Amino acid sequence: MVEDKYASRRFDIQPEDAIDVAVLETIPFDYPGSATEVVYETEEFTFVCPWTGLPDFARLVIRYLPYRSLVELKSLKYYLTSYRNVGILQEHAVNRILQDLVELLQPVSMVVEAEYKERGGMKTKAVARYEKEAE
């Protein structure tokens, strides 16, 4: 029987509660109803696999129609950086970001999209969407 020399190799993996939602801040959006689309992009979004601790890297795009608030960019950068050692699945990461930002901003609509770097010959793209219900 061949011993799996990787079975005991693990990196420090933080739980999801290490995601720093409290760092997020808003600034007023002075043009509600204007259909202004805001797009933030980064090639540097990273977190780790919850099973192996190995890193995942993605191009992340956050696209939204603001209602009354915008996310303050420095706070968004710190928020996204807080994922660095968090063990979370690729598909869950986009949904968690969407959930946190919708709760913070209450936008008209939002899409969070991540294109993950290829691993094991397979590329992954995950997209999470939100539409505000008509009042």
Residues labelled catalytic: 49, 56
Q: Which of 112, 128, 40, 129 is nearest to 76 (CA)?
A: 40
| CB contact set of 11 (below 8 Å; sequence gap of 6+) | 48, 52, 53, 54, 85
Dihedral sign from CA coordinates of 41, 132, 92, 76: positive
